[in-house]
C-alpha cells in the first residue's frame, strides 16, 4: 500500500505541496484534494521548509491519510506505512 497524505487543493497549501514534492513525494489531483504519496516506508516534512503558519500546518492532516502518524508537532510531520 502507498503511504499518502491528502490536502485540500487551495492556494494556502501550495507551499506545503511544494515542500512535499521537494522531499520526493508524488502529487496527484483527486477532486478537491491533492494526494501526496510515496512508495517509501516513511517520510518526514518540516514546517520550516514550507513557510506556512502553525495553524495551517496543523490543518494539513484534515484531508486524511493512508499510513500512521509517527510524530506530528508544530514543526515536524513524520508518517509511516501501517505495519501488519
C-alpha 14 chain-centroid distance? 11
For the chain, what is the domain count? 1
The predicted pLDDT at position 83 comes to: 79
List of the chain residues with pLDDT < 50: none
- This prediction has a pTM of 0.90
Q: How is residue 70 written as a grid cell?
A: 509517527
Yes or no: say if 22 and 1 are a contact pair by the CB < 8 Å rule. Answer: no
The predicted pLDDT at position 49 comes to: 85
Domain that holds residue 70: 3-80
Q: What is the CATH number of the domain that holds 45?
A: 3.90.56.10
What is the DSSP code (8-state) at residue 82?
P
Q: How is residue 61 written as a grid cell?
A: 492532516
Amino acid at each position: 500500500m502507498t503511504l499518502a497524505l491528502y490536502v485540500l487543493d487551495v492556494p494556502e497549501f501550495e507551499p506545503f505541496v511544494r515542500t512535499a514534492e521537494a522531499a520526493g513525494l508524488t502529487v496527484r489531483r483527486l477532486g478537491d484534494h491533492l494526494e501526496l504519496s510515496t512508495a517509501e516506508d516513511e517520510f518526514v516534512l518540516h514546517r520550516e521548509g514550507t513557510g506556512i503558519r502553525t495553524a495551517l500546518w496543523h490543518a494539513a492532516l484534515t484531508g486524511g491519510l493512508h499510513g500512521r502518524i509517527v510524530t506530528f508537532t508544530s514543526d515536524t510531520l513524520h508518517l509511516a506505512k501501517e505495519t501488519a
